[in-house]
A and B are shown apart, each in its own frame.
Chain A
């Protein structure tokens, strides 16, 4: 059973979850003809932006990760 609470499950192929520690993590499907998923832990600024804007911010963050899957070295491959 997952220890994560799913906050958003988007048809844009991402989901936002809150882990047991309360941290927000976004999981995004990246790639074209071969798709996989990466996870990025939201930093304090992003967490605050999500608190303010909700899904609109999560959509933008997911699109930014799709457009640059390494995401500055912050993205971790989902096995």
Chain B
């Protein structure tokens, strides 16, 4: 009887938080919007209001395991616009920042891996996996990966005014930008601001 009462008391104390089991929950990371400057924070808040009840926090939590993002670039473009210019950040830069579309690393890496055949990627398979035309993937590619937590970069839902957006001109258009955090091929995407070249892992995809 005494033992039963003791067990019940211990359970009650654990449940009330008076006794620690040693399994403490890690503190929640600060909101992503806090990483952004005033301009990007305003855009992020507006985008979240449009997408409500969805938002960048839920989007990253659900679709970006480990908060890792990746993107692809033809090697020729990478050489011309990143290497030769000694770029400090990836993406299209104006006086408000450098704007880069990125997808979950798991999605990009799996698509690349499954497209490999005899040591080379198959553009058709990669295009099909990512819902994009095969010609976007012809020739040698570069795959970049960035840890959003390690870099602390600003990340938000992409919007129509972002540099590089291919605007849809009719509801039937598919190969173009539609607001909501997914590409026309259904791949989750985010807009990363000022993604540092020095902190990205860059792999050649033959």
Interface residues of A, Cβ cutoff 8 Å to B? 9, 11-13, 15, 27, 29-37, 63, 66-69, 77-79
Contact = CB atoms under 8 A, between A and B. Distances in A.
Given A11-B98, A67-B167, A33 B139 contact: no
Contacts, number: 91
A12 B85 contact: no
B80 A67 contact: no
A20 B135 CA distance: 28
Interface stretch (B31-39, B47-55, B59-67, B101-109): B101-109
B165 interface: yes
A60 to B, nearest CB: 13
A35 B120 CA distance: 19
A13 B72 contact: no
Nearest to B71: A33
Nearest to A65: B166
Instruction: Provide the main secondary structure of the chain B interface.
Output: mixed
B101 A78 contact: no
A79 B74 CA distance: 8
A37 B142 CA distance: 14
A77 B81 CA distance: 15
Contact of A67 (B108, B132, B165): B165
Contacts of A13: 81, 91-93, 164
Contacts of A29: 77, 81, 92, 164
Interface string B168-203: 000000000100000100010100000000000000
Instruction: Provide the main secondary structure of the chain A interface.
Output: mixed
Contact of B77 (A9, A32, A37, A66): A37
Given A33-B71, A36-B74, A66 B166 contact: yes
A12 B93 contact: yes
B148 interface: no
Given A11-B94, A12-B92, A68-B166, A34 B137 contact: yes
Interface string B78-91: 00110001010001
B166 A12 contact: no
A63 B162 CA distance: 11
A27 B80 contact: yes
Q: Which of B76, B92, B139, B158 has the most CB of A within 10 A?
A: B92
A66 B166 CA distance: 6
Contact of A33 (B74, B77, B85, B103): B103
Contacts of B81: 13, 15, 29, 37
Given A9-B85, A67-B165, A69-B166, A32 B76 contact: no
Contact of A34 (B80, B94, B136, B158): B136
